[in-house]
Amino acid sequence: MKKKIPDGVIERLSAYLTCLLEYQEEGDETISSDVIGQHVDVNPAQVRRDLSYFGTFGQKGVGYIIKDLIKEIQEILGSDHPHRIALVGAGNLGSAIASYEGLKRHGFYVAAIFDSDPNKIGRKIGDLKVKPAKELAKTIKKLHISIGVIAVPESSAQAVADTLVKSGVKIILNYAPVIIRVPPHIKVHETDPAKELLHTLYYLTIRARSLKKDKGLKQLRK
């Protein structure tokens, strides 16, 4: 009954969404799997197949109606309605996140900001006043917040995570450079730029190595 949906499908779906929003911005009304595919660097057959897991949204000979497909994908992903975020940490990072347009665009908005530093409490960031960290649990429950963002120093990240989980948050975005431990039903994203850089570095390093070889220099290892 439950057809298993490959993990990659969901990841690509959000890429398609971003692409569709861009084309909508430009005033286009329809789009083909071919164009989407080129834009996100994916085979057009795969675009169609990915979408077909969830229904038939296109029109043969025409393509997809951008406006409708956006709505469908947003419904699938659950971003068709806004989601509230609790942001913990009102330092440089926290301030940057609070005013980040990329989140708002997809319906994620910061509903409350917390810090434990008395100098920061009460200060305004955008429209929000920084609240004392001890009100975290109370506020999360009151506002039914389901997403928590950790933007505090490494040393207090785990404690914050524990509080978030206890208060009922389901998704955590962790910007502190430590791996935090949470119960299995909680989803954590460690946003570690180093990991991405390492990944890319490898491809760069290979290219550099093979260039050396091409020039006839000795390989570093035999």
Indicate which single residue of 18, 38, 59, 99 sits in contact with DNA (rule: CB under 7 A).
59
User: In whole angstroms, what is the distance from residue 114 CA to residue 151 CA?
Assistant: 10
* Residue span binding a second copy (CB under 8 A) among the ranges 58-66, 75-83, 113-121, 132-140: 75-83
Shortest reach from residue 116's CB to a second copy, in Å: 18
Burial pattern 135-172, b for ≥16 Cβ within 10 A else e, equals ebbeebeeeebebbbbbbeeeebbebbebbbebebeeb
Q: Is 13 an interacting residue with respect to DNA (CB under 7 A)? A: no
Stretch 125-144: interaction string toward a second copy, x if CB under 8 A: --------------------
Residue 86 β-bridge partners: 112, 148
User: In whole angstroms, what is the distance from residue 67 CA to residue 177 CA?
Assistant: 39
Q: Is 203 an interacting residue with respect to a second copy (CB under 8 A)? A: yes
In order of 194, 199, 200, 202, 221, the CA distances from 206 in angstroms are 18, 11, 10, 6, 13
Q: Please give the residue ranges that form the binding site for DNA (CB under 7 A).
A: 4, 6-9, 32-34, 42-46, 48-49, 51-52, 56-64
Q: Please give the residue ranges that form the binding site for a second copy (CB under 8 A).
A: 10-11, 13-15, 17-18, 22, 76-79, 83, 91-93, 95-97, 99-103, 105-106, 108, 146-147, 154, 170-171, 173, 177, 179, 187, 189, 191-205
